[in-house]
Amino acid sequence: AVTYKGVNLGEIMQIAAEKCLGKGGGHDVAAGAQIPIENVDAFIKLVNELVGKQLAGEKIGG
């Protein structure tokens, strides 16, 4: 996946994948994840939420 400036896709993929029992990561503008198939819908929803938060200027990581 590739994203807009101001969004750290690597961080988003890592957080969302870990919460969905998978692994993810990458760079600010290009990243990926591997998750169990049964968690795909939850993963997509969480990624969308995290992107929205970053675009709004909110911090999402610890």
Q: Which amino acid is at 26?
A: G
pLDDT tens, 19-45?
999 999 999 889 999 999 999 999 999
pLDDT tens, 39-60?
999 999 999 999 999 999 899 9
d(CA 17, CA 61): 13
Q: What is the DSSP string of 10-59?
A: HHHHHHHHHHTTSEEEE-SSBEEEE--GGGHHHHHHHHHHHHHHHHTT--
DSSP designation for 4: -
pLDDT at 2 over 70: no
**pTM for the predicted model, two decimal places:** 0.88
The structural domains of the chain, with segments of one domain joined by +, span 9-55
